[in-house]
């Protein structure tokens, strides 16, 4: 952890969020905040509501109760498009890449909000459309360099191994130059080396671009090493919140993970 990285003010605050699917309570009265430039982990056993929480933050789900405050703006619910325009990007638990496209095209899709030309200009590949394509390509190439994807640049995503796909998904999210990055289990199913690489990329992203990161992860070693603060969910309720050390020693968290003693 570098000391140069300065954790700033609260930029995202969720208050009393409750989310139900019919009779199933996915989230009950959850509140926590995320500070600028920090790495915030959400942990909890399977089915605790971690992914639902991310889906609420970027507007895929609409909570029945509670508010989301992002950059001082209070909202009942986020709209996915708005979230993207406000600089929230994310990756998914089960890789959600566009399998029919190349790595380059996948990452280019991350830049779509920066492209203003209409489809008619694009059809003629003229003026603004061409200029934007080249400018955004430049930015995408920087991210390809950053995540070391040069060798697979023009490979269709469907042909790539799992670990690289996860990295491409991170690249696509980074291409949008987000202020906040939501990572849903970025290291799930990876071996130790791949996890180390991914940790490095997450830390570097946080370091170099100052991106705030909200991360769901099951590997406690990773969570305790890289995150600044941790939220613990269990059965849709918040049972712990604090620095990795505080959380580690919280009796409720120990109970949720190890069972009653």
Interface ranges with other proteins (CB under 8 A): 58, 60, 80-81, 83-85, 89-90, 92, 96-101, 105, 108-110, 112-113, 115, 117, 119, 122-125, 129-130, 132-134, 137-138, 141, 172, 176
| Token pair 């915030």 in the structure block, residue | 40
* Closest to 84 in 3D by CA, of 20, 162, 158, 180: 180
- CB nearer to other proteins: pick between 131 and 255: 131
Q: How far is the CB of 196 from other proteins (least distance, A)?
A: 26
Give the span between the Cα atoms of 148 and 166, in whole angstroms: 13
Query: For residue 191, how many C-alpha atoms fall within 13 Å in the half-sphere facing its CB?
Result: 4
Round the CA-based radius of gyration of the chain to a whole number and report it: 19
Token pair for residue 104?
A: 């380059």
Longest Cα–Cα distance in the chain: 69
- CB nearer to other proteins: pick between 62 and 112: 112
Token pair for residue 101?
A: 């496209």
Q: How far is the CB of 77 from other proteins (least distance, A)?
A: 14
- CB nearer to other proteins: pick between 108 and 143: 108
Q: How far is the CB of 57 from other proteins (least distance, A)?
A: 11
- CB nearer to other proteins: pick between 62 and 80: 80
Q: How far is the CB of 190 from other proteins (least distance, A)?
A: 20
Q: How far is the CB of 2 from other proteins (least distance, A)?
A: 30
Token pair for residue 128?
A: 């603004």
DSSP state, 190? -
CA dihedral over 226, 163, 60, 256, signed as positive or negative: negative
- CB nearer to other proteins: pick between 136 and 212: 136
């Amino acid at each position: 952890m570098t000391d140069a990285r300065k954790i700033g003010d609260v930029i995202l605050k969720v208050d009393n969020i409750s989310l139900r699917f019919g009779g199933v309570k996915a989230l009950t009265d959850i509140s926590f905040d995320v500070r600028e430039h920090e790495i915030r982990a959400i942990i909890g056993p399977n089915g605790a509501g971690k992914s639902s929480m991310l889906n609420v933050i970027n507007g895929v789900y609409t909570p029945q109760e509670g508010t989301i405050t992002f950059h001082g703006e209070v909202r009942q619910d986020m709209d996915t498009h708005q979230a993207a325009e406000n600089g929230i990007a994310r990756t998914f638990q089960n890789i959600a890449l566009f399998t029919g496209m190349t790595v380059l095209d996948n990452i280019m899709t991350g830049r779509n909000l920066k492209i203003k030309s209409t489809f008619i200009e694009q059809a003629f590949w003229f003026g603004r459309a061409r200029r934007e394509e080249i400018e955004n390509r430049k930015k995408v190439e920087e991210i390809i360099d950053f995540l070391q994807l040069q060798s697979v640049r023009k490979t269709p995503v469907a042909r790539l191994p799992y670990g690289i796909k996860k990295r491409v998904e991170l690249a696509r999210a980074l291409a949008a130059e987000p202020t906040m990055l939501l990572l849903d289990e970025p290291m799930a199913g990876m071996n130790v080396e791949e996890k180390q690489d991914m940790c490095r990329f997450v830390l570097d992203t946080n370091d170099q671009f100052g991106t705030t990161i909200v991360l769901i992860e099951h590997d406690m070693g990773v969570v305790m090493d890289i995150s600044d603060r941790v939220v613990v969910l269990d059965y849709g309720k918040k049972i712990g919140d604090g620095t990795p050390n505080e959380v580690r020693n919280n009796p409720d968290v120990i109970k949720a993970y190890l069972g009653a003693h």
